[in-house]
């Protein structure tokens, strides 16, 4: 049975033949026309269900012909094939005025054309929302959805509430009895409630206004009406912003990542009362504080949830117990690069060096202020953030973007929504996503078109791209892969499946990047990516006028290790040394396997002396490590190093590496197992 009759107006003979054959095989009756005259003849003798019109025709433009066609066939579905890229304006002209069902960009494949023909001929199925059906939701997702809905409703009423407040203040200014009390109650409620619904800025502004109003209401001071009015106007603006069409991110599905938090930090100390104070301080300043009273509790807490960083008491449990806790945290896979900060009453230099070697970005002398806490949290969260993967979602339906974002957002994944396909290229440059989710059917260029564009940009050739579509036929799948997509998801998209597919793609992309940039034996950066990062770090150091210490090190008598204990033993040494270097120093420090048994580490903010002190702790640790030879014998390894520091030793990566190498050579000459500066 025929699926329908198509008028196919295309003057390219080869394309005409190829596509007609494909469409006929799939059950369409195809009436071919190579010119407008032939097309008119076809329409005189046959009734067609849809027309495919090429943009460039002999003698008459496709657009003009469609105009003519519309006079006799006002409702005929028309597909317009264009060899030129159509901008938003001409797209709108074609689709709105000429009622073109779809603009196809040439070259298109027969499969892709088929997908759009099917859609044009068959009445479109009711749009399936991307929202997972309710019974498929996990309890966590259901809760997040319920919260998001409540927040949205509350947000929609915020403007009214502020208006009510402004009115009450106005009445109070006019001297109306009770109006001041009304205003005070309203602002007090906003303070307490808005934050609970996720509108933290509104809540904070209301809190400030409450403080301003309290003495007036208690009869302790006169009202400064002008400044009250300004404060209410500000509050109104914040409320407005809170409910603009694309609201701030929804409360995320996982419990520890509700919107508005600056980050999650682990604070470990023996003092329970002080921990409670830190929790409260954290709540006030929008930092989620997770507390631990012992080393075990700290490790346990870090296993259970995402942390942006950890603040550890230097003497946790016992003297220098914090360093031990740090070593254990750094030994766990999931927290190997967790940013750390130490605090303690001892502020002397050896402690600071020990802290840096244990991986601390900061050493805070106690007692520290709220500002110190906030600064360290922000810094740690910023250090860790690049580890999150970014997913860019392009869909013209804001509800779909929101649903996908709610389903995908987690501690490991950040979602950026985009509704305008014409901004895709800009958005790629701006957000640098690790994965792209593309809706196939959008006004303007289709997902296929966009996918081809992205693939044509060298920088984005390997970006994972997933289509989201209501189509399921094999033609669609072929068209999707031809356009360059990696995978596709059918609507309705289920939360679990979406997460599984996206996460596996992200994981694979990350592995591919690691393979290209990291040494497989030690897990450290390879020489080329290291030098690139080092250049950036050096530029930053020079700009901040901070020193950058480059430490080039080499395992002593490594050839003898290989000869005496076997090559497998030699590999074990390199692996352990690589691991030791990853687990020590700060998250932001750069580590590289320079080649053979040589390694480089760059420490920002350290002088030659402090870098030597920090590295010598690691060298002593290595010295104490027992290694096993291929025949079960035990041996030990030492290292020699040379350190160069930016500024005094040069301002170019090459110069610093050369100086460090000269000093490493000197360390070898001077008897090994030493660090020269």
Partner 1 sequence: MPIRKVLLVDDEADIRTIGQLSLSRVGKWETVLAASGDEALMKADAERPDLILLDVMMPGMDGPTTLARLRAQASTAQTPVIFMTAKIQKHEVARYLELGAVGVIGKPFEPLTLPAEIKKLVP
Q: Which positions lie near partner 1, rule CB under 8 A?
A: 139, 143, 146-147, 150, 154, 185, 188-189, 191-197, 200, 203, 207, 210, 251, 255-256, 258, 280, 283-284
DSSP string spanning 403-429?
A: HHHHHH-SSSEEEEEE--GGGHHHHHH
* Cross-strand pairs, 600: 552, 592
Least Å distance, CB 393 to partner 1, is 24
Closest CB 503 distance from partner 1, rounded Å: 23
Choice between 192 and 347, CB closer to partner 1: 192
**CB of 283 vs partner 1, minimal distance in Å:** 7
Nearer to partner 1, 156 or 560 (CB): 156
Task: With beta carbons less than 8 A apart as the criterion, state whether 235 and 161 touch.
Answer: no
- 4's enclosing H/E stretch is strand 4-9
Shortest distance (Å) from residue 398 CB to partner 1: 24
Other Cβ atoms closer than 10 A to 540: 12
Contact 312, 298 (CB under 8 A): yes
Total residues belonging to the chain: 677
Query: 88 or 157: whose CB is closer to partner 1?
Result: 157
CA distances from 647 to 538, 541, 548 (A): 10, 9, 8
Question: Do the beta carbons of residue 14 and residue 57 sit within 8 Å?
Answer: no
- Give 195 or 447: the residue with its C-beta nearer to partner 1: 195
Nearer Cβ to partner 1, position 49 or 210? Answer: 210
Which residues make beta-bridge pairs with 263? Answer: 287
How far is CA 33 from its chain centroid?
50
Please, which residues have CB within 8 angstroms of residue 659's CB and are 6 or more apart in sequence?
642, 644, 649, 650
Q: How far is the CB of 496 from partner 1 (least distance, A)?
A: 20
Please state the closest distance from residue 251 (CB atom) to partner 1, in A.
7
Closer Cβ to partner 1, 50 or 186, answer by number: 186
- Beta strands 598-604; 590-595: pairing state: antiparallel
- Sign, CA dihedral 508-512-513-518, equals positive
Distance of closest approach, residue 378 Cβ to partner 1, in angstroms:
20
Q: Which residue from 144, 197, 146, 190 is spatially nearest to 168, judged by alpha carbons?
A: 190
**Residue with token string 């809760």:** 143
Query: Is residue 585 a contact partner of residue 360, using CB atoms and an 8 Å limit?
Result: no
In angstroms, the Cα distances linking 513 to 90, 410, 430, 525, 547 are 40, 21, 20, 11, 30
The residue (of 204 and 327) whose beta carbon lies closer to partner 1 is 204
Q: Of the candidates 639, 656, 635, 657, which has an alpha carbon nearest to the alpha carbon of residue 647?
A: 656
**Residue with Cβ nearer partner 1 (185 or 429):** 185
For the chain, the distance separating the N- and C-terminal CA atoms, rounded to the nearest angstrom, is 85
**For partner 1, which is the closer residue by CB, 111 or 151?**
151
Q: What's the closest the beta carbon of residue 257 comes to partner 1, in angstroms?
A: 9
- Which lies closer to partner 1 via its Cβ, residue 282 or residue 445? 282
Residue in 35, 82, 43 with CA at minimum distance from that of residue 59? 35
CB of 411 to partner 1, least distance (A): 14
Q: State how far the alpha carbon of 674 is from the alpha carbons of 153, 204, 582, 617, in Å.
A: 66, 56, 21, 12
Report the phi/psi class of residue 263: left, alpha or beta, with left for phi > 0 and alpha for psi in -120 to 50: left
Q: Which is nearer to partner 1, 25 or 181 (CB)?
A: 181
Whole-number minimum distance, CB 425 to partner 1, in Å? 38
> What is the 3 state secondary structure string of 514-576?
HHHHECCCCCCECHHHHHHHHHHHHHHHHHHCCCEEEEEEEECCHHHHHHHHCHHHHHHHHHH
At its nearest, how many Å lie between partner 1 and the CB of residue 134? Answer: 14
Closest distance between partner 1 and the C-beta of residue 256, in Å? 8
Residue 261 vs 363, nearer CB to partner 1: 261
Helix or strand holding residue 203 (H, E)? helix 200-217
143 or 374: whose CB is closer to partner 1? 143
Q: How far is the CB of 357 from partner 1 (least distance, A)?
A: 35
């Amino acid at each position: 049975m025929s699926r329908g009759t198509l008028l196919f107006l295309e003057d390219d003979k080869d394309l005409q033949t190829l596509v007609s054959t494909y469409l006929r095989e799939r059950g369409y009756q195809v009436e071919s026309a190579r010119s407008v005259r032939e097309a008119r003849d076809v329409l005189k003798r046959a009734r067609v269900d849809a027309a495919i019109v090429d943009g460039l025709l002999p003698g008459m433009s496709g657009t003009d012909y469609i105009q003519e066609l519309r006079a006799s066939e006002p409702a005929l579905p028309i597909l317009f094939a264009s060899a030129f890229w159509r901008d938003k304006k001409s797209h709108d002209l074609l689709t709105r005025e000429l009622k073109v069902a779809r603009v196809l960009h040439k070259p298109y494949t027969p499969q892709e054309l088929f997908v759009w023909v099917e859609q044009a001929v068959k009445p479109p199925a009711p749009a399936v929302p991307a929202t997972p059906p309710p019974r498929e939701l996990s309890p966590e997702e259901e809760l997040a959805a319920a919260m998001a809905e409540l927040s949205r409703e509350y947000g929609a009423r915020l403007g009214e509430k502020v208006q009510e407040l402004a009115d009450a203040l106005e009445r109070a200014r006019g001297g109306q009895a009770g109006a001041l009390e009304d205003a005070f109650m309203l602002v007090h409620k906003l303070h307490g409630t808005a934050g609970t619904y996720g509108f933290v800025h509104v809540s904070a502004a209301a809190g400030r206004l409450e403080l301003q109003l309290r003495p007036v209401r208690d009869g302790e001071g006169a009202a400064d009406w002008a400044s009250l009015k300004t404060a209410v106007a500000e509050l109104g603006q914040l409320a407005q912003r809170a409910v603009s069409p694309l609201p701030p991110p929804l409360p995320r599905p996982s419990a520890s990542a509700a919107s508005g938090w600056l980050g999650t930090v682990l604070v470990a100390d023996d003092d329970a009362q002080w921990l409670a104070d830190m929790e409260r301080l954290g709540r006030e300043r929008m930092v989620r504080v997770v507390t631990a009273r012992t080393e075990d509790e700290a490790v346990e807490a870090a296993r259970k949830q995402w942390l942006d960083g950890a603040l550890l008491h230097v003497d946790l449990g016992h003297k220098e117990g914090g360093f031990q806790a740090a070593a254990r945290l750094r030994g766990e896979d999931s927290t190997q690069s967790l940013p750390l900060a130490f605090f303690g009453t001892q502020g002397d230099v050896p402690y600071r060096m020990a802290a840096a070697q244990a991986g601390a970005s900061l050493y805070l002398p106690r007692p520290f202020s709220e500002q110190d806490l906030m600064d360290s949290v922000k810094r740690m969260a910023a250090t860790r953030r690049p580890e999150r993967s970014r997913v860019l979602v392009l869909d013209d339906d804001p509800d779909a973007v929101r649903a996908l974002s709610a389903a995908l957002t987690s501690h490991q994944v950040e979602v950026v929504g985009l509704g305008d396909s014409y901004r895709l290229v800009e958005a790629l440059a701006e957000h640098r996503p690790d994965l792209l989710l593309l809706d196939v059917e959008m006004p303007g260029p289709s997902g296929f078109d966009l996918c081809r564009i992205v693939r044509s940009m060298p920088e984005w050739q390997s970006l994972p791209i997933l289509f989201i579509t209501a189509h399921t036929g094999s033609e669609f799948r072929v068209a999707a892969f031809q356009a360059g997509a990696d995978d596709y998801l059918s609507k309705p998209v289920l939360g679990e499946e979406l997460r599984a597919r996206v996460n596996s793609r992200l994981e694979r992309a990350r592995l591919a990047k690691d393979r290209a940039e990291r040494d497989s034996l030690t897990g450290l950066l390879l020489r080329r990516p290291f030098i690139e990062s080092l250049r950036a770090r050096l530029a930053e150091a020079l700009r901040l006028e901070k020193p950058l210490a480059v430490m080039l090190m080499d395992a002593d008598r490594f050839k003898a290790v290989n000869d005496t204990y076997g090559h497998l033993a030699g590999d074990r040494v390199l692996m352990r040394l690589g691991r030791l270097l990853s687990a020590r120093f700060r998250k932001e420090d750069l580590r590289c396997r320079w080649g053979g048994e040589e390694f480089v580490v760059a420490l920002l903010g350290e002088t030659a002396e402090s870098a030597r002190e920090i590295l010598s702790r690691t060298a002593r640790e290595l010295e104490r490590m027992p290694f096993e030879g291929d025949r079960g014998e035990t041996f030990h390894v030492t290292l020699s190093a040379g350190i160069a520091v930016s500024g005094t030793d040069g301002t170019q990566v090459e110069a610093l590496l050369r100086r460090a190498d000269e000093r490493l050579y000197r360390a070898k000459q001077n008897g090994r197992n030493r660090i020269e500066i």
